[in-house]
A and B are shown apart, each in its own frame.
Chain A
Amino acid sequence: MARYVVSTKEEQLEMLRAIGMESLDDLYRDVPEEAKAKSFDIPSGMSEMEVRAFMESLAEKNTRFKKIFRGAGAYRHYIPSIVKSVVNKEEFVTAYTPYQAEISQGVLQSIFEYQTQMCELTGLDVSNASVYDGAVAAAEAIMMAVDRRKNRAVVSGAVNPEMLEVIKTYCESRDVDLVITGTSDGKTDMEELKASVGADTACVLIQSPNFFGLIEDVEDAVAIAHESKAKFILSSNPIAMAYLKNAGEYDADICVMEGQPLGLDVAFGGPYLGIMTCREALMRKLPGRIVGQTADHDGKRAFVLTLQAREQHIRREKASSNICSNEALCAMTASVYLAAMGRNGLVQAAKNSMSHAHYLASRLLELPGFSMRYGGEFFHEFLIDAPVAPKVIEDKLREKGILSGLEVDGGILFCTTEMNTKADIDELVEIIKEVL
């Protein structure tokens, strides 16, 4: 008998007879014979014990790194125990999208709390309930900004390359004129940016800290954008934003972030969390679900999905985005994470991550032949040149169960979080010494 189907064969037969049929095949009698499959090359089912052992065997085929010094878009931070305890609650895991507000207040309120936290973190007015990931958030933000009159998007060449790939795809499909500017000393080349922005520019997008970990001269980019009445989109890291200037302080119009650092596992790339916030003036252009506060007929506070006329189920081909399912449970994860950490905890995570990176950089620079590729201020990632091939260092660290920084343009992009302790960093440096 199949797993999870409840009815016994006898019950199935009784139900079939109740509807005037004799076999399950009868249910498909209207399907043309040519459309019916001749065969399926699918293995027989397994018992739960077998399938679990099999999945465990697959998980064990992955290398388990004890220490990770790699970021580049996915960051291993400490996840407080309360986070998984909350988000593993069966009701949250299994519920559908909260269209039926009367039996979904728990999910709706949690999204309202998430939206509030995202507005606090980014300093902007309105947050949606999430999109798929940070890269899609950036692409969707560009789609918010462009219109018939202004169809050019100017994007810094120092953004995460994964994000840039997604931006290219989205821009090409909507025929947006995408200009990617060059870099200078690892940061957005402001001269080139200025030259690329004109009256037809809908938006400028900069990432800070950028792909190389460098803090960009965001003020300059904002000034260039706003001078041409283009929207400014800041892509950032949510942990950094607790400690470094936020999107509101920079006078950004839209902020997008990969929310994975907020309590989500690196998990081979997903599920992650696309964070999007914006100024109130852009509220009706924001894609995705949004929760609002209202009251029920007795005046009791209630939460509902609102501003739905923006969305695909109502606007259909005129909708600015097709998003339906989002990353709701990941948004709740981020919300629990932020509540557990509090302001002080989050700032501590940011400070420790940044301080560890600067400590690691200073230790590596003590070694012969190491030099920083770029000169600017960095957050928790930096690109460093080594006197030996990055692969040599990576191989040696790998033997010891350590994931080295990512090789980028011949250098190594190291990343630290609060998880990379002084002892770990000292150990890393000692191991690297062995291959010099």
Chain B
Amino acid sequence: MSEVLKELKYLESHEWARVEDDGKVSVGITDFAQHALGDIVYVDLPEAGDEVTAGESFCEIESVKSVSGVYSPATGTVAEVNEALLDSPELINEDPYGSWLIKIENAELSDALLDSEGYEAVLENEEQ
């Protein structure tokens, strides 16, 4: 069973969101997602200043034999991107909840966000 953190919000498409103390929203992919992708080899991050829209893809993550879009849990402006991932995409495999992809400012969270229990139910379905 994949790890799910209580304090985070989730999209059904396996992204997590965390509202930071400064109001920005950090976004990453879940343990389930990193496991499904396998060894991640490349992350195509947006640039700071880009606009993102809730429910739309803002970045692509590649493994050797697959590529996946990452969907935004909020509408807003990209404040920061995690540049460490450009050189070390494997950090996502090693620590999916520590490896945020972007931080969104002026963020308006998506209505589709689930709490941890809701997401666990999604995973149960997937794993069947």
Contacts and interface: CB of A to CB of B under 8 A. Distances in A.
- A-B interaction: yes
A284 B41 CA distance: 12
A314 B64 CA distance: 10
Contacts of A284: 42, 44
A315 B60 CA distance: 11
What size tier do the contact residues of chain A reach?
under 10
Contacts of B62: 309
B14 to A, nearest CB: 18
Those 4 A-B pairs whose CB atoms lie nearest each other, nearest first: A309-B62, A309-B67, A315-B67, A314-B67
Nearest to B68: A309
B116 to A, nearest CB: 31
Contacts of B42: 284, 309
Interface in A293-315: 308-309, 314-315
Contacts of A315: 67
Interface of A: 284, 308-309, 314-315, 318
Nearest to B64: A308
Given A309-B63, A309-B66, A314-B66, 12 more contacts: A284-B42, A284-B44, A308-B64, A308-B65, A309-B41, A309-B42, A309-B62, A309-B65, A309-B67, A314-B65, A315-B67, A318-B67
Nearest to B57: A318
Chain A CB within 10 A, most for which of B42, B44, B62: B62
Interface string B32-70: 000000000110100000000000000000111111000
A91 B70 CA distance: 43
B97 to A, nearest CB: 24
Contacts of A309: 41-42, 62-67
Interface of B is mostly: strand
Interface of B: 41-42, 44, 62-67
A161 to B, nearest CB: 37
A118 to B, nearest CB: 23
A292 B66 CA distance: 18
B53 to A, nearest CB: 14
Contacts of B63: 309
A309 B67 CA distance: 6
Nearest to A313: B65
A274 to B, nearest CB: 25
17 contacts: A284-B42, A284-B44, A308-B64, A308-B65, A309-B41, A309-B42, A309-B62, A309-B63, A309-B64, A309-B65, A309-B66, A309-B67, A314-B65, A314-B66, A314-B67, A315-B67, A318-B67
B33 to A, nearest CB: 16
Contacts of A318: 67
Contacts of B66: 309, 314
Nearest to A304: B64
Contacts of B41: 309
A284 to B, nearest CB: 7
A115 to B, nearest CB: 19
A295 to B, nearest CB: 15
B21 to A, nearest CB: 34
Nearest to B63: A309
A308 B66 CA distance: 8
A318 B66 CA distance: 12
Nearest to A318: B67
A306 B77 CA distance: 33
A242 to B, nearest CB: 34
A257 to B, nearest CB: 28
A315 B69 CA distance: 11
A308 B41 CA distance: 11
